Amino acid sequence: MAKPGPPSAPAQLAELWARVRGRLRNEVGEVEYRTWLRQLTLIGVDGEEVAVSLPTRFLCDWVRTHHGDMLLGFWQAEIPEIRRIEFRVVPEKAAEPSPGRAGPLTPAPEPRVENRPDWSASLDPRFTFDTFVVGKPNEFAHACARRVAEKPASAGFNPLFLYGGVGLGKTHLMHAIAWAIREHGNGDGRKPMTVAYMSAEKFMYRFIGALRTGQTMEFKEALRGVEVLLVDDLQFLIGKDNTQEEFFHTFNALVDAGRQIVVSSDKPPAELAGIEDRLRTRLGCGMLADIHATTYELRLSILESKAAQAGVVVPPKVQELLAHKITANVRELEGALNKLVAHANLFGRAITLESVHDLLGDIWRQYDRKVTIDEIQKKVAEHYKIRLSDMSSPRRARNVARPRQVAMYLSKQLTTRSLPEIGRRFGGRDHTTVMHAVSRVAELMQQDSAFAEDVELLRRMLEG
């Protein structure tokens, strides 16, 4: 145990620092550690403050936001007096430890970009076309995905941009494309194609990792060598300028070379605020395919298919009940079914309507009349034919401000959210703005019966 009070001898300090680094490494894992923390260098301890350095501003900001608290905690465990961590930008050469100064004790080996990276190691074997249930809400996206899998890079389908809400099958379709292409190549008998699948976040980690280790050339070359690139959840690149820039160049290089790109996102390109215009334009110039919210019929078919896959008998009445109640997305529907199946398997009992109520009671309660602010915003925007993004935009024109007020009013009426919470969800507005909206809408409903009917209609649709 460290004695209280700042240690004076450099050797003792170095030992503390080694312990702190060891704990950080344990906590964040090897990959994260090597990517972000390997070059973290101790400058010194002065009273309540520990000074550390990293070679770039970007790294400092990243480590401070993502690991700053943890770092402080580990230091405090060694020296309770420590109150602050000061991050300084010290370019690489200057930060090299000199004799007599505490520095990294166990320099990690340089991470290398593998010669033949496996870009699709994270594909889920369950996500294939065989297991994807097609229905009205996803038939177009599914057809496009099939088409791309059969004939990558055909005109009009490049890039393929899949978008839709969470849990509706975007990742499933992307993996299905990757599996199909890996298996069958491009159909004309050529060797299997190289497929790279990664989330936009992973793309960013890898790119920044490469930047830091001076291996951007390897990164670029490896990526530009693939025949199909699938990037999932592109919305995570919002505001990440460097990474967007790199993605844009990779994108262009691949499309120009006749390779296929598939991108997914929770919104269409036009609504991705924080994406550079030129990238947005290119993203939108292939095929846009949206996956709509599930319908009762689709939910029912998915349940049938998943129950059959699990080899469990789920009575039709139970399937109907689940399809009726669990409407948010496929992921939740699957979760509920899995719970039933697990129970049936564990206890060897049949699934019945009664057991469903027992098992899923808490889920029901959560669903009973539970309308989300997202749904309200979406319905109201649709109804008044304004953009969803206007719900949180600063625009004050009457034609968007009024619907926004209606949505705030309904959020207050139909959810248990507080005024400040509602305000946050509407572009970070103040709770007094929400309060004003609520009373204004109530007032207008008194005065204008057509308006009142409109709002009532929306309320009924939302309560479903």
* Candidate list 55, 152, 159, 169; residue touching ligand ADP; CB under 6 A: 169
Instruction: Outline where 133-267 has alpha helix (H).
Output: 139-150, 170-184, 200-212, 216-224, 241-256
Smallest separation (angstroms) from ligand ADP to the CB of 352:
25
Task: State which residue has the least CB distance to ligand ADP.
Answer: 169
CA-CA-CA-CA dihedral for 63, 65, 70, 76, to nearest 10: 90
> % helix / strand / coil in the chain, to the nearest 5?
55, 10, 35
Interacting residues with ligand ADP between 332 and 361 (CB under 6 A): 334
Task: State which residue has the least CB distance to Mg ion.
Answer: 171
Contact status: 330 vs ligand ADP (CB under 6 A)? yes
Q: What does each C-alpha distance from 96 to 54, 198, 443 come to in angstroms?
A: 11, 34, 68
Contact status: 127 vs ligand ADP (CB under 6 A)? yes
Q: Which does 244 bind (CB under 5 to 8 A by kind): Mg ion, ligand ADP, none?
A: none
52 versus 145: smaller Cβ distance to ligand ADP: 145
196 versus 407: smaller Cβ distance to Mg ion: 196
DSSP state of 237: G
37 versus 177: smaller Cβ distance to Mg ion: 177
Distance CA 44, CA 82 (A): 12
Contact status: 322 vs ligand ADP (CB under 6 A)? no
Which residue has 């599930």 as its token pair? 294
Instruction: Outline where 29-124 has alpha helix (H).
Output: 30-32, 57-78, 92-95
336 versus 458: smaller Cβ distance to ligand ADP: 336
In this structure, are strands 41-46 and 49-54 parallel, antiparallel, or unpaired?
Answer: antiparallel
Span interacting with ligand ADP, options 146-154, 166-174, 178-186, 387-395, rule CB under 6 A? 166-174
Contact status: 18 vs ligand ADP (CB under 6 A)? no
Distance CA 338, CA 79 (A): 48
Distance CA 253, CA 238 (A): 21
Smallest separation (angstroms) from ligand ADP to the CB of 204:
18
Interacting residues with ligand ADP between 47 and 106 (CB under 6 A): none
Distance CA 339, CA 51 (A): 50
292 versus 383: smaller Cβ distance to ligand ADP: 292
Contact status: 331 vs ligand ADP (CB under 6 A)? yes
Distance CA 67, CA 73 (A): 10
Smallest separation (angstroms) from Mg ion to the CB of 199:
8
| Token representation of residue 424 | 């946050």
Smallest separation (angstroms) from ligand ADP to the CB of 312:
16
244 versus 264: smaller Cβ distance to ligand ADP: 264
DSSP state of 239: T
Smallest separation (angstroms) from ligand ADP to the CB of 60:
33
63 versus 133: smaller Cβ distance to ligand ADP: 133
Distance CA 393, CA 401 (A): 10
67 versus 267: smaller Cβ distance to ligand ADP: 267
Smallest separation (angstroms) from ligand ADP to the CB of 47:
49
With residue 300 as reference, give the H or E element that holds it. Answer: helix 296-310
Contact status: 168 vs ligand ADP (CB under 6 A)? yes
The DSSP code sequence of 426-457 is TTS--HHHHHHHHHHHHHHHHH-HHHHHHHHH
60 versus 303: smaller Cβ distance to ligand ADP: 303
17 versus 161: smaller Cβ distance to ligand ADP: 161
Distance CA 187, CA 178 (A): 14
Smallest separation (angstroms) from ligand ADP to the CB of 301:
8
Q: Which does 413 bind (CB under 5 to 8 A by kind): Mg ion, ligand ADP, none?
A: none
8 A C-beta contact, residue 169 and residue 202 = no
Smallest separation (angstroms) from Mg ion to the CB of 342:
23
Phi/psi for 171 (5° steps) reads -65, -40
Q: Give the total of residues touching ligand ADP (CB under 6 A).
A: 17
Smallest separation (angstroms) from ligand ADP to the CB of 44:
47
Residues of this chain that bind Mg ion (CB under 5 A): 170-171
Smallest separation (angstroms) from ligand ADP to the CB of 233:
8
* Candidate list 35, 171, 186, 377; residue touching ligand ADP; CB under 6 A: 171
3-state secondary structure of 117: coil
Contact status: 132 vs ligand ADP (CB under 6 A)? yes
Distance CA 331, CA 171 (A): 11
56 versus 301: smaller Cβ distance to ligand ADP: 301
Q: What does each C-alpha distance from 426 to 280, 315, 348, 395 come to in angstroms?
A: 24, 42, 48, 12
Residues making contact with ligand ADP (CB under 6 A): 127, 131-133, 138, 164, 166-172, 302, 330-331, 334
